[in-house]
């Protein structure tokens, strides 16, 4: 029995590329080439700047330049705060940007602070020191993994656990403040406690207020601008100690706020 011949493809209707999203190579039809997708330049460029800050902090700490390492972490925090806002303002959000930002955060706010703290003081404690540094780095990884799974689900006004940039800022401010301090066992124990506590706070089920709730595009009272001027002036007087005080206040605000809310619930019952 003769079979009917297949119709020939019309060359005018053939397309050299096909728009296929989120498919693996096994899902593609033979002969169909997926369209190459580009990435948005500006937000990912800022993310690269944040990652470079963390990378530079690691190199500086390995060379004993702890002040430069601490400043580099704060510069990374600045770029990290800009990339997400720039992406939202310019409507250039993407899944690639989310994943790239997470990897950058692991370098700048996970590995870099642990290396800086260990190179500065924790190395004097031997295995206990590197264990404390590893606790911080591993908790940062767990914090970022949990955050990625909750994107779009959690309340944007709050963080669950201390945000990794805030934890990194606490470590960086500590190292910057004690840059010229002599390495002693007592100071190393203090650094160990702060480094380990900062790591544990990142994975603790504690709610922290998020700066994402602040509307930077909206109108604010005049006193708000005046307060920002005073705050910047105070920071410029003694940056390391002022930033350390601010980082400590923010770090303890979560547990204290949780304890206060629990106390109010018990008193109202």
Q: Is residue 111 part of a domain?
A: yes
Q: Is residue 221 part of a domain?
A: no
Closest CA to 243 of 180, 168, 183: 168
Q: Is residue 112 part of a domain?
A: yes
Domain that holds residue 136: 41-214
Q: Is residue 258 part of a domain?
A: no
Residue 143, C-beta contacts closer than 8 angstroms, at least 6 positions apart: 161, 162, 163, 164, 202, 203
**pLDDT tens for the 269 residues of the chain, in order:** 444 444 444 444 444 433 334 444 445 555 555 555 667 778 889 999 999 999 999 999 999 999 999 999 999 999 998 887 887 778 887 888 888 889 999 999 999 999 999 999 999 999 999 999 999 999 999 999 988 887 666 666 778 889 999 999 999 999 999 988 888 899 999 999 999 999 999 999 888 887 765 666 667 677 778 888 888 888 888 899 999 999 999 999 989 988 888 888 888 76
Q: Give the CATH number, domain containing residue 110.
A: 1.20.120.1760
Residue 207, C-beta contacts closer than 8 angstroms, at least 6 positions apart: 158, 159, 160, 254, 257, 258
Structural domains in the chain (count): 1
> How much is the pTM?
0.79
Q: Is residue 8 part of a domain?
A: no
Q: Is residue 85 part of a domain?
A: yes
């Amino acid at each position: 029995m003769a079979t009917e011949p297949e119709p020939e493809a019309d060359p005018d209707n053939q397309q050299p590329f096909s728009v296929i999203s989120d498919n693996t190579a096994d899902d593609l039809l033979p002969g169909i080439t997926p369209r190459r997708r580009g990435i948005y330049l500006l937000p990912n460029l800022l993310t690269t700047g944040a990652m470079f800050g963390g990378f530079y902090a690691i190199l500086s700490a390995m060379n004993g330049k702890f002040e430069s390492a601490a400043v580099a972490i704060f510069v990374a925090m600045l770029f990290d705060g800009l990339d997400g806002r720039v992406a939202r303002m310019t409507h250039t959000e993407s899944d690639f940007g989310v994943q790239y930002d997470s990897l950058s955060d692991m370098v700048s706010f996970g590995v870099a602070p642990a290396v800086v703290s260990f190179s500065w003081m924790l190395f004097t404690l031997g295995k206990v020191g590197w264990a404390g540094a590893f606790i911080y780095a591993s908790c940062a990884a767990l914090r970022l993994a949990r955050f990625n799974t909750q994107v779009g689900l959690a309340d944007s006004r709050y963080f669950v656990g201390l945000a990794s940039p805030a934890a990194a800022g606490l470590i960086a401010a500590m190292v910057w403040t004690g840059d010229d301090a002599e390495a002693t066992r007592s100071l190393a124990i203090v650094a160990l406690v702060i480094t380990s506590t900062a790591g544990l706070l990142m994975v603790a089920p504690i709610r922290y207020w998020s700066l994402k709730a602040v509307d930077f595009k909206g109108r604010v009272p005049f006193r708000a601008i005046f307060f920002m001027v005073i705050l910047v002036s105070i920071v410029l007087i003694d940056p390391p100690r002022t930033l350390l005080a601010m980082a400590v206040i923010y770090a303890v605000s979560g547990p204290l706020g949780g304890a206060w809310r629990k106390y109010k619930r018990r008193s109202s019952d």
